[in-house]
Structure 1
Amino acid sequence: MQPTGFRRWIVVITAISAAIIELIDTSIVNVGLTDIAGNLGVTIEDVSWVVTSYAIANVIVIPMTSFLQRYFGRKNYYIGSIILFTLASYGCGFADNLWVLVAFRFLQGVGGGALLSTSQGLMYDAFPPSQRPVASALFGMGIVLGPTLGPTLGGYIIDNYHWSWMFYINVPIGIIAVLLSSAFIDKKEDELNIDRRTIPIDRLGILLLAVGVGSLQYVLERGEADDWFDDQAIRYLTVVAIIAIPFFIWWELRGSKEPVVDLRTLKNRNLAVGCVLMVVVGYGLFTSVLLYPLFAQRIVGMTATQTGKLLIPGGIVTLPMFALTGRLLAKGVSPRLIVLGGYVAFATFCFTMSTYNMDASNGDFITALIIRGIGLALVNVPLINQSVATLEPRQLPTGIAIVNMMRQIGGAFGVAITNTYVTQRTALHRNDLVSNLQPENPLLTERISALTQGLAARGVNALDAVSGAYKSLDGIITRQALMISYLDTFRLAGLFFVLSSPLLLLLKSKKMDAATAKAVADAAH
């Protein structure tokens, strides 16, 4: 039965709140990575696992959401996911070492992976067909609000409290969401008499997906830090990934009668091309979310709160851009053209960021982040729309799940590749900078003398002042090398968008009927 009046709005508030906390936790930790690393005594490269583990869990769960809803019932699965998300958030807060934190972040990602798509379904069921555009608009605002609030809220917590409160804040929201869901969300008819014995489970497919993606991610993430194939674990897990991923593909295509991910839909050209393009979008999106806070804090010297606040203008601009994108699609503007505009915006953001330095101002960052927000609005819905436009109706749920999964995979792998690239480029640029420091260079002598005098003026004895001057110079060189490596990484991300944009020409244009468009809109949000 469709909820009405007060009951409907309770469902709406519950669904949006659950979606927002999932999206907040996708980005909230990014502004706190430096503090978490310092508190736990690990490197920035290691602490990036806090982001990556959450993304990996999402990648595994998102394509399984349809099956899990059928198996457990949507209401049970939804409430169970909120409970898992809430308990894992509490676990993240009291974690006293990196790998405990990473483990709970993975569990948090498993719970969070269900919240977006399931919340969207609840929202649409709460409104009659004539009012579903209202539901879409409300949910779209929540989708934009989450990523905007995440870094801002995270920055405030980092500057005023312990980083663990970035996770504890989810606990009361999760408890309220569970209570409201239990009381106000009704079960659908097909949930009332579920016979799980009749629902086949692709256990091998699920296992291969988890093992293959997890092993590959570990290799990408730890390869640089562990000297790649000089490390035994890297060698073993590389072999596991090489075996598990092709076996998973074969099993889903040929072996399983009820595959957990029906890869046969990838025979459709639009879907296959769309997946490649979505990997690039995920790579650019997650790379920017990771690199911007690091650049602002480690290079420019901003606080976490300042870093988060600068995201707000971009989020505000994105809201009307989502509405404009929908209007353009409704008027028959080619999705390929809109996506191309989004690609240009993303590439412009990346290349703009690659020109900044230690003197970058708040206005510089706001300008770049507004361009990024425009790109996000122009790419998301139209690209999913065009990717599944030529699928048969029965293939739509699987196609949409695969596209969303590829965005998450692009993001997870992008974070790992970015960390490796930053490490390599930092070492290269540091060597280049040091090689230019010649003892007979008068500028070097002048800088050392100025640093020495400055320390001496603060009461440091002559011998320690000279030693301290060289240490200060070493810190300056390291910071400079790190800055240049960040600029290189932004440039690389922009290059991915430029090189992949011709693939848009391979997408077949097809106007979608109302039912298909609704299904796409549900999944896109």
Structure 2
Amino acid sequence: MVAIVVAVATFMEVLDTTIANVALRYIAGSLAISIDEASWVVTTYLVANAVALTASSFLAKLLGRKTFFLACLVLFTASSILCGLAWSIQSLLFFRILQGLGGGGMVPVSQSILADSFPPQKRGQAFALFGIAVVVAPVVGPTLGGYISDNYSWHWCFLINGPVGLVSMALVFMLIREPRAATEERRKLREQGFRFDTIGFLLVATFLGALEVILDRGQQDDWFASNFVISFAIASGLAFALMIPWEIRHRNPVVDIRMVFTRQFGSCFVVMLATGAILIATTQVLPQLLQENFGYTAMWAGLVLSPGGLITMIMMIVVGRLSGQVQPKYLIAIGAFVIALAMYNLTNLYGALDFWFFARSRMYIGIGLPLIFIPITTASYEGIPTDKTDQASALINVARNAGGSIGVSLAQNVLAHREQFHQSRLVEHIIPSNAQYQETLQQVINYFIAHGSSPETARGQALAWIGQQVQVQASMLAYVDVFWTLMVISSATVVLAMILRKVKLGDAVAVAH
């Protein structure tokens, strides 16, 4: 029950990272703003989420995990309702920031609660339920958001969190207990005058917040041709340069950077970066491809992801049991290899592909992701002391969030630049001296003449049709390049997985010890 309650709250939080994406046009129309302004609804949430992650470890220790989790849940639920009632873009963005702050604190504490509530031999199954929330929620988001926006109102994309949040609050209050060790640790820290690393928090928050803005807005604002992007890049770079020495030397750092430089946790951190990139990038790119090139509606594009979500749920349960019997490094390597094959399958794009080709590709991804997600979450706690589990949770979730933003940004940049490249190459063949071009042009002119156009009009229509086909083909080839890129990332993850140490399976002693 503890695992289910925590998973439901986490599902609700992660869902909100993608549910608003497909509702942006409706939000823009309703509030009389541009799509560019509406996209800040997504950016502000991601930035606030990243900032909250950095402070979650300290606040969980200071207030207690149960109290902090409840406080985050209350803030998230209340701000979700306020988002649904927003009367202007300014009010919506303010409430989205509050929502991101509440949600950012919930996820790492959820993992800490599960790590402390279950013995190692059961921990894999607990993380399986948690994993369903984290992996399936981004898949459900576009489908649910598209359906709600098409049939009801974008406001309900946020209002649905209200009743779920209220039920979750009641269950968390009744079921979750604070471990005695955590209570004792909190008492000792207060006696010792444990202070918040304010400077470290500001540096980490500036680095992550500015990085999120750069990744989310870079493509739209033309990257370093924009003074806005340059300003945030300078802020992020300076914060990062100052953060490393400060956090390494500080006695109680807000983020223990030294953990990232260890072989086990550092490898887990990088693998989670790659996993987040693949999960979020494919969740965004695939529906985008289907809507732009295959004429799918937002709802049908989201439904393509649904069979993969079902497979993921089943695999989470299977992998939860396997994780107590098979070394995490081998499961991760197999999962990354399966995803690489799925990406390779998607490189075989052409215009006549049907719904089930894309659905099957997503199902392959649904098989691979749980094989990575659960073992990497379990392996990341190997050798971590009990007083560092909150830090480990926060860093792993920073990796997942940052990886998702990096993945989306990388995919959109590859798409934009390679589409220009392919279009320039294809146009090279549309010249009067090319016999195939002349033959095609004449056939298309004859087609339009046969359908009632004059010869002069038919020629203009034929040229416009050929230009449209060049754009479609350039776009398709660019998407192929995106999937090639994601395949390379998946293949690199196979190698990274083999760096991980072997862990004790089914040990009765807590992994954190």
TM-score normalised by the chain length of structure 1? 0.82
Question: 2:444 maps to which residue?
Answer: 447
Aligned to 1:297: 291
| Matched AA of 1:340 | A
1:374 Cα deviation from its structure 2 partner = 1.1
Distance 1:184 1:360, change over 3 A: same
Whichever residue aligns with residue 370 of structure 1, its letter is M
- Maintained 8 Å contact 2:123/2:378: no
- Post-superposition offset of 1:395: 4.2
In structure 2, the residue matched to 1:233 is 228
Going from structure 1 to structure 2, the CA distance change for 1:75 and 1:464 (only over 3 Å counts) comes to: farther
- Cα distance change of structure 1 residues 200 and 180 upon mapping to structure 2, 3 Å threshold: same
CA drift of 1:278 comes to: 2.0
Secondary structure of 1:226's aligned partner = coil
The alpha-carbon distance between structure 1 residues 358 and 387, as it changes in their structure 2 partners (threshold 3 A), is same
For 2:82 and 2:202, how far apart are their aligned partners in 1? Answer: 25
Q: Give the gaps of 5 or more residues in structure 2.
A: none
One of 258, 278, 283 as aligned partner of 2:252: 258
Contact 2:108 2:393 in 1 (8 A): no
Q: CA deviation at 1:27?
A: 3.1
Instruction: Give, as a single letter, the amino acid of the residue that structure 2 aligns with 1:60.
Output: V
| Per-residue CA distance 1:13-62 (angstroms, 9 max, x = gap) | 65443222113223323444566677766558x86654454344333333
Q: Distance in 1 between matches of 2:135 and 2:401?
A: 17
Greater Cα shift, 261-270 or 444-453: 444-453
Partner of residue 287, structure 1: 281
1:493-518 per-residue CA deviation (whole Å, 9 max, x = no partner) reads 1112223432333322232544444x
**Counterpart for residue 314 of structure 2:** 320
Which secondary structure does the structure 1 equivalent of 2:221 belong to?
coil
Q: Report the 3-state secondary structure (helix = DSSP H, G, I; strand = E; otherwise coil) of the residue aligned with 1:243.
A: helix
Query: What whole-Å deviation, never above 9, does each CA across 1:348-400 have from its counterpart, x for those lacking one?
Result: 12221222233221211121111101111110122233344344555444334
Q: Does structure 2 retain, via aligned residues, the 8 Å contact 1:30–1:289?
A: no
- Structure 1 runs not aligned, ≥5 long: 1-8, 521-525
**8 A Cα contact 1:283 1:413, kept in partner:** yes
Distance, in Å, in 2 between the alignment partners of 1:228 and 1:345 is 33
- Structure 2 equivalent of residue 509 of structure 1: 502
Aligned residue pairs total 503
Residue of 192, 201, 205 corresponding to 2:196:
201
CA deviation after TM superposition for structure 1 residue 242, in Å = 1.8
Change (3 A) 1:439 1:450: farther
1:186 & 1:172 partners in 2: Cα distance? 23
Q: Taking structure 1 as reference, are residues 187 and 267 closer, same or farther at Cα in structure 2, changes over 3 Å only? A: closer
SS of 2:19 mapped into structure 1: helix
Rounded to whole Å, the distance in 1 between the matches of 2:409 and 2:191 is: 38
Q: Percent identity?
A: 32
CA positional deviation for 1:113: 2.0
Q: Is the 8 A contact 1:88 1:105 kept in 2?
A: yes
Decide whether aligned partners of structure 1 residues 324 and 138 sit closer, same or farther in structure 2, where only a CA change above 3 A counts.
closer
The residue number in structure 2 matching 1:67 is: 58
What is the root-mean-square deviation in Å for CA atoms of aligned residues? 3.8
Q: What are the within-5 Å matches in structure 2 for residues 152-171 of structure 1?
A: 152-171=143-162
Residue by residue over 1:463-504, the C-alpha shift from the partner in whole angstroms, topping out at 9 and shown as x without a partner, is 888766655554444343333222211111111222343233
d(CA) in 1 for partners of 2:43, 2:130: 26
Tell me how far 1:262 sits from its aligned partner. 0.8
Q: What is the CA-CA distance between 1:337 and the residue it aligns to?
A: 1.6
1:5 alignment counterpart: none
Match of 1:210 in 2: 205
8 Å contact 2:10–2:133 — kept in the other structure? yes
CA distance change for structure 1 residues 449 and 113 in 2, over 3 Å: closer, same or farther?
farther
1:523 aligns with none
Who is 1:490 aligned against? 483
Q: 1:261 to 1:180 in 2, by over 3 A?
A: same
Are 1:158 and 1:304, in contact at CA under 8 Å, matched by a contact in 2? no
Cα 1:23–1:214 shift into 2, 3 Å: closer
CA deviation map 1:108-153 (0-9, x unaligned): 2221123334445667888999988876665555556534533332
- The superposition leaves residues 391-426 of structure 1 with CA deviations (integer Å, 9 ceiling, x where unpaired) of 455544433432332122111122222222222222
Query: Corresponding residue for 1:421?
Result: 414
Distance 1:436 1:268, change over 3 A: same
- Which residue in the other structure is 1:364 paired with? 357
Q: Which residue of 2 aligns with 1:274?
A: 268
